[in-house]
Amino acid sequence: MTTAKFWLASNSPRRREMLSWLGWSFQSAPANIDESALGGENPLEHVKRLALGKCQVKIDTAQPGEIVIAADTIVVLENAILGKPVDEKDAFVMLKSLGDRTHQVITALAVRQVGLPDVQQETCISNVRMRNYSDAEIEAYIRSGDPMDKAGGYAIQNAQFHPAVNFAGCFASVMGMPLCHLERTLRRLADYQPADLAVICQKKLNYACPITRRVMIGENIG
Ligand SMILES: Cc1cn([C@H]2C[C@H](O)[C@@H](COP(=O)(O)OP(=O)(O)OP(=O)(O)O)O2)c(=O)[nH]c1=O
C-alpha cells in the first residue's frame, strides 16, 4: 500500500467511494469551479479544462508533496456535451435523447503534487449504448432522484434502471474515476509507490475488465 497523502478535489460521492476502495489515506476538498462551456471549445478540450481547473483549486491545508487528484466526466451525444441536468424536465430530455443510441462518456483526470508546477493529465473515452427504455421508465427513474447529479442524467451503475445494453471502454471512468488511468498517471510522479488498482477495481465492480492490461501498458484506450 502506498504511504503518500492524497487529496481528492471533488464533491462527488462516487469519486470519494471509488478512492476509498484503495485503502489510501485521503481527504476530500471541494473543487467548485464554473463548469460552463466556452464558445468554440470541443468536448475533449472542455472536459480537460474542467479537470485541470478542479485540480488547481487551492487547498489551504495541503502540504508540499501531497498529491491532489481531480476529475471531470461528461456525456457526449453527436458532439454535444450533456452535463448534469438542470431540472427534471432537462433530465427527461437528456434520457430520451440517449435512449436506444450510442454515446461517449469522457472522463478527464488531473493530478498534481502540492508545491510543484506540473499537472499530469489523462483522458478516458468510453462508448455506451443505451437500451430502448420507455417514457414511463424515464419518469420513474427521475422520481428516484438518481439522475440529477450525474452527467447525462444517468448512472450506468444503477441496477434498477440499468440503462446500458452495451459498453466499450472503462466502466470505472463512466462512474467518474478511471482507476487504471489514475494508476498510470500516478506512476509518473517521482515518489509514488506503484499499486495494483486494476485488481481492486475489478473486484469492487465484480467485473472482468477486458482492457486493463492495455491501459496499463499505456495504450490510448478506454
Ligand atoms: C455518466 C455517469 C456519470 N456519473 C457521475 C460521475 C460524476 O460524479 C458526475 C459527473 O459530474 P462531474 O462534474 O464530473 O463531477 P461532480 O460535480 O459530481 O463532482 P466534482 O466536480 O466535485 O468532482 O456524474 C455516474 O455516477 N455514473 C454515470 O454513469
Class of CATH domain 6-216 = alpha beta
Confidence check: pLDDT of 126 > 60: yes
Element (H, E) at 45: helix 43-56
- Atom 9 in ligand 1: which residue has the minimum CA distance? 150
Q: Which of 101, 210, 211, 207 is nearest to 152 (CA)?
A: 101
Of ligand 1's listed atoms, the one at least distance from the Cα of 12 is 19
Ligand 1 environment, Cβ below 6 A: 10-12, 14-15, 31, 54, 72-73, 75, 84, 105, 149-152, 154-157, 174-176
Spell out the domain ranges in the chain: 6-216
- Atom 20 in ligand 1: which residue has the minimum CA distance? 10
State the distance from the centre of ligand 1 to the C-alpha of 91, rounded, in angstroms: 14
> Could you read off the pLDDT of 169-208 as tens digits, one per residue?
999 999 999 999 999 999 999 889 999 999 999 999 999 9
Is 87 considered catalytic here?
A: no
Complex ipTM, two decimals?
A: 0.95
Distance CA 71, CA 123 (A): 9
Strands (E) located in 47-101:
67-77, 80-82
Give the list of residues 6+ apart from residue 101 with CB closer than 8 angstroms, or none. 77, 129, 130
